[in-house]
Amino acid sequence: MKPYHVVWKGPVHKVSGLGRATRAYAQSLKRQGVAVSMGTSSHYKNGTQGKKVLIYHHIPSSIQWKKERSIYDLIILNTVWETSKIPKGWLPHMNKFDAICVPSTHNKRTLRNSGVKVPIFIVPHGVNTKEFHPKNKKMSLPGTAGRFTFVSVFGFQHRKNPEGLLRAYWEEFSSKDNVVLVIKTNGFGAHENERWIQTKIAQYKKRLGIQKDTAPVIIIGRQLSDSQLKGLHTLGDVFVLPTRGEGVGLPFLEALASGVPVITTSWGGQMDFLTHNNSFLIPYQLRSPSSSMNRAISKKFSNLFGQKGQLWAEPNLGGLKKLMRKAYQNPGLCKQKGRQGRKDMLHLSWDRAGALMKHAIEEVIRSKK
């Protein structure tokens, strides 16, 4: 293969899971010996040799085709989607890329079912099992000592189903149970800070009419350092997130790498690596996203998720309650599933992702000769 140079355009500086995945993908490609620049084509002005490849890791409809085609020989989309059908405004753009990389079989199926015709490569996320490790020092958090701890990490949006998680927990556990639920979350606007999120949750509890003495919930709405995030995972006895749809579910990978099992919905990109041996899987029914939006307590992104024909999973609330109770009553089973999860994650490195991405790029280069 003749030399080629990759420019990666994506949310490189974001502190979110998406930002961390972007940086990890690009770094893993570099470790495979690929020349990679982040976010700019200025490197080409000095007479770069070989094919110029753009990996576009933004919303497909935002690309400036004329400009990018004048610079690059090949343009590959790296994307992810969470429902059964992509937003209709994306399709015409997607079919103009030379190829698309997605992180899960769920995504590939969704794109094909939505009418995407160009080559699709599965390039899964990885997890750094040296960083996320069962021996990481537990985060020090008042109110958790000696309690069975449920941990959840998500952006405060309707797709993540905070309503289902909170309702199941409040209805299933009382202050007589030795449990605590720790939610690490974030809003999407400047005003959506920790206090705002806590207020939304308190209003929701009132709306449900839950009067009983419920088990405690701790909300962390501020940014955590890398070491705090790792310590939050090891603080948990089990990770819980009854999500409605995931392209991958990076926190699941990080929890399992930390030796902590997962309670989540059995539909979505996470089903490439979650099993009954490392997780507690919630039954679900496929529903239109808009069917539950009127009850949302968090950001809905209805312009993306409220389109006709889209489906995602509505997890069964009774099933979630049973699994949370089962985990609480069986700490030994949680440890067993966590050990298996750790073992499973050792095979899902970012180096593997980089090798698959390199293979995809070189396949596309060969096909365009």
Q: What is the pTM of this model?
A: 0.94
Decide if 142 is inside a domain: no
CA distances to 15, 35, 48, 212, 351 from 32, rounded to whole Å, are 25, 9, 19, 56, 8
| CATH code: domain of residue 247 | 3.40.50.2000
Decide if 318 is inside a domain: yes
Same domain for 174 and 120? no
Same domain for 99 and 195? no
Boundaries of domain holding 223: 148-347
- The encoded tokens of residue 234 equal 């090891």
**CA-to-CA distance for 244 and 300, rounded, in angstroms?**
12
**CA-to-CA distance for 181 and 328, rounded, in angstroms?**
12
Decide if 140 is inside a domain: no
Same domain for 65 and 175? no
135-162 pLDDT, tens digit per residue, is 999 999 999 999 999 999 999 999 999 9
Residue 103: the pLDDT is: 96
Which of the four pLDDT bands, split at 50, 70 and 90, describes residue 2? confident
- The encoded tokens of residue 191 equal 């005003």
Total tally of structural domains belonging to the chain: 2
Same domain for 213 and 90? no
185-197 pLDDT, tens digit per residue, is 999 888 999 999 9
Residue 40: the pLDDT is: 58
Residue 48: the pLDDT is: 59
Over range 50-70, report the average pLDDT: 94
**CA-to-CA distance for 97 and 358, rounded, in angstroms?**
17
Burial category of 226 from C-beta neighbours within 10 Å (exposed 0-12, middle 13-18, buried 19 and up): exposed
Over range 82-97, report the average pLDDT: 95
313-349 pLDDT, tens digit per residue, is 999 999 999 999 999 999 999 999 999 999 999 999 9
Same domain for 25 and 41? yes
| 149 sits in which H/E element | strand 148-155
Same domain for 83 and 178? no
Decide if 213 is inside a domain: yes
Residue 18: the pLDDT is: 77
* DSSP annotation string for 70-114: HH-SEEEEE----SSS--TTTHHHHTTSSEEEESSHHHHHHHHHT
Over range 200-229, report the average pLDDT: 93
Same domain for 120 and 47? yes
235-289 pLDDT, tens digit per residue, is 999 999 999 999 999 999 999 999 999 999 999 999 999 999 999 999 999 999 9
